[in-house]
Amino acid sequence: MAIQSTYLDMPLDIGELDVENLAYFRHCAAHDFHLQRCSACSLVRYPPTTACPWCAAPKSEWVPVEGKGAVHSYTEVHHAIQPAFKAHTPYLILLVDLDTQKGQPTEHEALRVVGNLVTPDGNLAPKETVRSVGIGTRVRMVFADAGPGIALPHWTIDEGAAQPAKPWRYPQE
Amino acid sequence: MPMPAETDATSPKHLRDKYAIVGVGETTYMRGSGMTTRALGTLAVRNAIEDAGLKPSDVDGMLSYQSGDSTFSNFIAGDLGIRANFFMDVFGGGSSTEALVGMAMGLIEAGMCKVVVIFRAMNGFSQVRIGGTGARAVAPVSGDMLHSRAYGWQSAGQMFSPTFMRHMYDYGTRPEQVAAVKAIHSEHASNNPKAFYKERVSVAEVLASRIICKPLHLLDCCVETDNGTALVVTSAERARDCRHPRALIRGVVGRCSKPRLDMHYQHGPISTVAGQYAREILWPNAGVGPEDIDVTGSYDAFTFTTMLQLEDYGFCKKGEGGAYVSDGTIRLGGRRPNNTSGGHLCEGYTHGLNMVIENVRQLRHDADDSCPVGADGKRQHTYDYREGGCRQVKKCELTANMGWANPGTGSAMVMRRD
Looking at this predicted complex, what is its ipTM?
Answer: 0.98
pTM: 0.96
Amino acid at B216: L
| Parent domain of A100 | 3-157
| Cα→Cα distances B32→B36, B37, B121, B227, B232, Å | 11, 12, 14, 10, 27
Residue B156: what pLDDT? 97
Nearest CB to B133 within list A18, A46, A81: A81
- Across the A:B interface, residue pairs with CB atoms under 8 Å apart total 140
| Position B131 confidence tier, pLDDT thresholds 50, 70, 90 | confident
Q: Which residues of B290-304 are buried (b: 16+ CB within 10 A; e: fewer)?
A: bebbbbbbbbbbbbb
- Helix, strand, or coil (residue B208): helix
> A72 and B270 in contact by Cβ < 8 A?
yes
Interface of B with A in 142-161 (CB under 8 A): 142-144, 146-155, 158, 161
Residue B8: what pLDDT? 53
Torsion angle defined by CA atoms of residues B160, A52, A64 and A141, in that order, rounded to the nearest 10 degrees:
0
Nearest CB to B262 within list A14, A49, A171: A49
Predicted confidence (pLDDT) at residue B7 exceeds the cutoff of 60: no
Residues of A in contact with B260 (CB under 8 A): 53
> A78 and B211 in contact by Cβ < 8 A?
yes
Q: What is the Cβ-side half-sphere exposure of residue A136, based on CA atoms within 13 angstroms?
A: 12
Residues of B in contact with A21 (CB under 8 A): 143-144, 146
Residues of A in contact with B267 (CB under 8 A): 106, 108-109
Interface of A with B in 9-68 (CB under 8 A): 10-15, 18, 21, 25, 46-47, 49, 53
For residues B280 and B257, the answer to whether their CB atoms sit within 8 Å is no
Predicted confidence (pLDDT) at residue A103 exceeds the cutoff of 50: yes
- Closest-CA residue of A relative to B268 is A108
Domain ranges for chain B:
19-128+225-239
> B211 and A116 in contact by Cβ < 8 A?
no
Higher pLDDT, B297 or B9: B297
Instruction: Tell me the mean pLDDT in the region B259-271.
Output: 97
Residue B12: what pLDDT? 58
- Closest-CA residue of B relative to A73 is B162
For residues B98 and B412, the answer to whether their CB atoms sit within 8 Å is yes
Inside any domain, residue A150: yes
| Position A85 confidence tier, pLDDT thresholds 50, 70, 90 | very high
Residue B189: what pLDDT? 98
End-to-end Cα separation, chain B, in angstroms: 25
- Using a CB–CB cutoff of 8 Å, tell me whether A152 touches chain B: yes
Inside any domain, residue A171: no
Interface of B with A in 237-276 (CB under 8 A): 259-260, 262-263, 265-270
Q: Is the dihedral of CA B415, B418, B346, B134 positive or negative?
A: negative
For residues B415 and B360, the answer to whether their CB atoms sit within 8 Å is yes
Q: Which of A22, A79, A141 to mutate to test the interface with B (most CBs of B within 10 A)?
A: A79
Q: Is the dihedral of CA B93, B405, B51, B225 positive or negative?
A: positive
pLDDT one-digit tens code per residue, B53-88: 999 999 999 999 999 999 999 999 999 999 999 999
Q: Is the dihedral of CA A25, A29, A35, A37 positive or negative?
A: negative
Residues of B in contact with A72 (CB under 8 A): 162, 166, 270
Instruction: Tell me the mean pLDDT in the region B196-217.
Output: 98
* CATH level 3 topology of B19-128+225-239: Peroxisomal Thiolase; Chain A, domain 1 (3.40.47)
| Position B3 confidence tier, pLDDT thresholds 50, 70, 90 | very low
pLDDT one-digit tens code per residue, B16-60: 999 999 999 999 999 999 999 999 999 999 999 999 999 999 999
- Using a CB–CB cutoff of 8 Å, tell me whether A141 touches chain B: no
For residues B39 and B89, the answer to whether their CB atoms sit within 8 Å is no
- Using a CB–CB cutoff of 8 Å, tell me whether B179 touches chain A: no
- Using a CB–CB cutoff of 8 Å, tell me whether A105 touches chain B: no
Predicted confidence (pLDDT) at residue A11 exceeds the cutoff of 80: yes
Looking at the DSSP assignment, which residues form a beta bridge with residue A97? A70, A112
Nearest CB to A74 within list B137, B165, B174: B165
- Using a CB–CB cutoff of 8 Å, tell me whether A164 touches chain B: no
Indicate which residue of B299, B313, B324, B385 is catalytic. Answer: B299
Instruction: Tell me the mean pLDDT in the region A134-161.
Output: 97
Per the annotation, the verdict on B349 as an active-site residue is: yes
Predicted confidence (pLDDT) at residue B215 exceeds the cutoff of 60: yes
Residue B360: what pLDDT? 98
Residues of A in contact with B131 (CB under 8 A): 81
Question: Residues of chain B with pLDDT > 90: what percent?
Answer: 94
Amino acid at B287: G
Nearest CB to A73 within list B155, B165, B174: B165
Nearest CB to B141 within list A12, A95, A170: A12
Predicted confidence (pLDDT) at residue B2 exceeds the cutoff of 50: no
Nearest CB to A14 within list B143, B151, B262: B143
Output the furthest CA–CA distance in chain A (Å, rounded): 47
**Stretch (H or E) spanning A154:** strand A151-157
CA distance B188 to B297: 12
For residues B273 and B309, the answer to whether their CB atoms sit within 8 Å is yes
Per the annotation, the verdict on B19 as an active-site residue is: no
CA distance B378 to B370: 12
- Using a CB–CB cutoff of 8 Å, tell me whether B169 touches chain A: yes
> A78 and B266 in contact by Cβ < 8 A?
no
- Closest-CA residue of A relative to B165 is A73
Predicted confidence (pLDDT) at residue B307 exceeds the cutoff of 80: yes
Mean of per-residue pLDDT scores for chain B: 96
Looking at chain A, list the stretches that DSSP marks H as alpha helix, in order from N- to C-terminal side.
Answer: 19-29, 127-130
Residue B130: what pLDDT? 87
pLDDT one-digit tens code per residue, B344-400: 999 999 999 999 999 999 999 999 999 999 998 889 999 999 999 999 999 999 999
Inside any domain, residue A121: yes
- Closest-CA residue of B relative to A48 is B144
Sheet holding B141-142, edge to edge: A3-7, A10-14, B141-142
| Total domains in the fold of chain A | 1
SS3 content of chain A, % helix, strand, coil (to 5): 10, 40, 50
How many residues in chain B? 418
For residues A121 and A155, the answer to whether their CB atoms sit within 8 Å is no
| Cα→Cα distances A32→A14, B266, B379, B380, Å | 19, 22, 69, 71
Mean of per-residue pLDDT scores for chain A: 97
Instruction: Tell me the mean pLDDT in the region A47-73.
Output: 98
Domain CATH number, residue A133: 2.40.50.840
